[in-house]
């Protein structure tokens, strides 16, 4: 690490996090950096304690879970640890979306941060949590990124999804100040952001130039974006750098993608898996043998629903199942046994050669989005609309992007009562920015049907 890097890590960042903002993030991080090396039994005890506190709180303060316990004929005393969680029902996305009010705690914790999902399943979900949970989330992310060698203050190049375009609305003073603050924060942290939405030859060349100019010590990328970048680098023989660690997230990294990313940037490729509702769920370590779960702050189950009787059981190692998450740090609007819609393969129960006893997922199959093509033939991240819709979730109940064989696109939207001209302008600005030269038709519908598999596909490319 260079002088600025060590200054940032030792002085600036601690002063900013612990001093100016009075955040206990770094204390949480130090704790998590110790617990990661504890034996499994000790980790299970830590997790069980947090789980029992969450359940007692939910039973006392959260109407939705009071009813769930009553319907199951149990009380929190019947659940000693994560193995007993199967006694409670799974919370599906649709139910989660319809129970925001009923899952909000009446006491004991208050929602201080509100967000919504980008609607990977086409139906955005509004959720909230307390500030204390945010400290844990940030600390867990720092630990996970740290496994790839990423320390705060290092030069990082983010090839990542951008926020929503300004649309036709005039920027307000508040929005300008906000943008300035984000820019300032990123400069202090030395995070260089590049939008991965459109990935034509020109955009990929710009990323290569930025790598040569900025010498990033780590790349943080959407998985499919870095795969496109790597193919570009390998095909044109552009690599003139040593190994740069790559942290991938937000999408699935396929085995073939990993091969080419390693060719372009070296073998230090780390997959992360998270979702907006709880942030980092699991992270790959330097043994590169699956993703360790964030066990101190989450219970992550992989469950298989038996079709013949509707019951659910834990997946066996190597088996594909639904990801079911209990967030131990969100007491304000609890997620208990929440099926976020992703699928994962349960990991080997044995110890990892890295020495950490945190259990593992073998792989995550969720978050697969088709890639769109613009009028010039450039590849465009299928999730560009998700990123935008996360910011206007109140106005859109469901949506779907369909690219037809002639490359024209239909954007189907099931609006809520708050959908208006400014929302339409934001959507239009998005497709004008990313789908250059492609005719796009906005189609308002009442409902978007799920595919036979039960998943509502957000991005469909007709072939
Ligand atoms: Zn490991």
| Cα 352 to middle of ligand 1, angstroms | 5
| Cα 39 to middle of ligand 1, angstroms | 13
| Cα 247 to middle of ligand 1, angstroms | 15
On whether the CB atoms of residues 400 and 458 are closer than 8 A, the answer is yes
| Cα 5 to middle of ligand 1, angstroms | 26
| Cα 355 to middle of ligand 1, angstroms | 6
| Cα 310 to middle of ligand 1, angstroms | 34
| Cα 118 to middle of ligand 1, angstroms | 30
| Cα 314 to middle of ligand 1, angstroms | 22
**In the chain, % of residues over pLDDT 90:** 58
Per-residue pLDDT reduced to its tens digit, 46-88: 999 999 999 999 999 999 999 999 999 999 999 999 999 999 9
The residue to which tokens 């199942």 are assigned:
321
| Cα 274 to middle of ligand 1, angstroms | 17
Per-residue pLDDT reduced to its tens digit, 317-340: 988 888 999 999 999 999 999 998
For the chain, the C-alpha Rg in angstroms (whole number) is 22
Mean pLDDT of 135-157: 94
| Cα 146 to middle of ligand 1, angstroms | 13
pLDDT band at 454 (very low <50, low <70, confident <90, very high): very low
| Cα 291 to middle of ligand 1, angstroms | 7
DSSP secondary structure, 354-370, as one string: TS--S-EEEEE-----P
| Helix residue spans in 215-345 (DSSP H) | 223-235, 255-265
For residues 82 and 92, give the distance between their C-alpha atoms in angstroms, rounded to a whole number. 19
What pTM was computed for the model?
0.79
Listed residues: CB within 5 A of ion ligand 1: 285, 287, 352, 354, 356
């Amino acid at each position: 690490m260079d002088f600025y890097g060590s200054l940032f890590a030792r002085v600036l960042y601690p002063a900013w996090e612990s001093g100016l903002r009075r955040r206990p993030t770094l204390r949480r991080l130090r704790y998590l950096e110790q617990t990661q090396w504890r034996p499994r039994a000790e980790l299970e005890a830590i997790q069980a304690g947090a789980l029992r506190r969450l359940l007692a709180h939910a039973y006392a303060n959260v109407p939705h879970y009071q009813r769930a316990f009553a319907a199951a004929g149990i009380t929190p005393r019947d659940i000693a640890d994560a193995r007993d969680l199967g006694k409670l029902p799974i919370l599906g996305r649709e139910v989660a979306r319809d129970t925001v009010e009923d899952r909000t705690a009446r006491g004991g914790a208050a929602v201080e941060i509100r967000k919504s999902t980008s609607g990977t399943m086409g139906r955005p979900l509004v959720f909230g949590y307390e500030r204390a949970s945010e400290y844990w989330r940030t600390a867990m992310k720092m630990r996970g990124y740290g496994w790839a060698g990423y320390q705060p203050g290092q030069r990082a190049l983010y090839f990542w999804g951008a926020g929503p375009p300004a649309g036709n609305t005039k920027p307000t003073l508040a929005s300008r100040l906000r943008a300035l603050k984000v820019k300032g924060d990123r400069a202090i942290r030395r995070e260089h952001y590049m939008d991965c939405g459109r990935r034509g030859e020109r955009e990929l060349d710009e990323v290569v130039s930025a790598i040569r100019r900025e010498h990033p010590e780590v790349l943080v990328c959407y998985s499919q974006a870095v795969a496109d970048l790597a193919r570009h680098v390998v095909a044109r023989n552009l690599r003139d750098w040593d190994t740069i660690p790559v942290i991938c997230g937000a999408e699935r990294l396929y085995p073939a993608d990993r091969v080419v990313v390693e060719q372009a940037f070296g073998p230090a490729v780390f997959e992360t898996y998270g979702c907006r509702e709880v942030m980092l769920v699991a992270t790959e370590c330097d043994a590169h043998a699956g993703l360790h779960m964030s066990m101190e702050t989450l219970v992550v189950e992989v469950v298989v629903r038996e079709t013949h009787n509707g019951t659910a059981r834990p997946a066996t190692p190597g088996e594909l199942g639904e990801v079911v998450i209990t967030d131990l740090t969100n007491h304000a609007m609890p997620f208990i046994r929440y099926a976020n819609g992703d699928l994962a393969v349960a990991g080997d129960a044995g110890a990892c050669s890295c020495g950490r006893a945190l259990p593992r997922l073998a792989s995550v199959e969720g978050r697969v989005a088709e890639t769109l093509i613009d009028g010039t033939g450039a590849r465009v991240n299928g999730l560009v609309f998700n990123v935008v819709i996360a910011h206007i979730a109140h106005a859109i109940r469901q949506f779907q992007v369909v690219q037809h064989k002639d490359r024209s696109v239909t954007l189907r939207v099931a609006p809520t009562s708050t959908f208006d001209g400014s929302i339409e302008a934001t959507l239009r600005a998005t497709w004008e920015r990313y789908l250059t030269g492609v005719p796009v038709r906005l189609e308002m519908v009442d409902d978007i049907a799920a595919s036979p598999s039960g998943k509502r596909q957000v991005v469909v490319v007709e072939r």
